[in-house]
Amino acid sequence: MKRGAVTYGSAWALVTGAGSGIGRCYALRLAALGYRLLIAGDRREPLEAVGREIEALGGAEVRICAIDLARTEAARELFDHVQTEGIAVDVLINNAGIFSFCDILATPPERIERIILLHDVTATQLSRLCAADMIRRGVRGHILNMASYSLWMPFPGLALYSASKAYLKSFSVAFAREVGERNIRVTAVCPAGVATDLYGLTPYWQRIGLRLGVLISADSCARRGLKALWRGRRCIVPDWWNRIWIPLCKALPMCVLRPLRRYTMKFQK
């Protein structure tokens, strides 16, 4: 069997933000490994499309939960839904995210709140609820949290996004140490540019980014993320060349960032 594979239909995986991009690829790959799936997101139509795609490929059972995860009570509501459906989650993928490229003073307060709720509060609470249930059942559990390379890039326009992802990475590494002895593995995945619609790039520019090596595909990110999870890695940056730039990103002086900020102001939204 492949690493991470299970007897067909014998285990459940929960993937948030599974309607497109990296979340969709996580769902497809977990289905190929034999998992039954509960896929969650804020829009039912994309989730149903992914469900049909998995069924067409001969995947195991897929259930859908349309839910707004950027709310204080979202994690508890989703976990209650899991329990009501009789699902025992063995793999949790906290993938749902909102990208923000805008100065804090120009960001509406409600958007600040929603991003922090989604990236940090919901992911933390859902990790806690699922880990406690895994421990109670005595199974080997796996939790993957999607952080971001931008946590090493506290640049103008990324203050909110990079800070929320920095929390998620720090939480994941510390939580992994807390529950490691209880047979739970936790991994934070910190990709740089990924060819998805998250950043607002058109398909043309996504293809250009892939050809230049500036972006990686969503499926490549999901494959490397799951590989790190099965191996018990606490934190991973897909693609080695991105890792070598981390010290430079953290050390860029304002004399470099100031003209960069003036140029990027027109892209902020």
d(CA 186, CA 176): 5
The number of helices, as runs of H, and strands, as runs of E, in the chain is: 11, 9
CA 188 to chain centre: 8
Beta bridge partners of 14: 38, 92
d(CA 215, CA 221): 10
Does the active-site annotation cover 266? no
The CA distances from residue 181 to 3, 178, 194, in Å, are: 21, 7, 33
Q: Which of 161, 167, 250, 263 is catalytic?
A: 161
Q: Which of 149, 165, 167, 169 is catalytic?
A: 165
Does the active-site annotation cover 161? yes
The H-or-E segment that residue 11 falls in is none
Catalytic residues: 161, 165
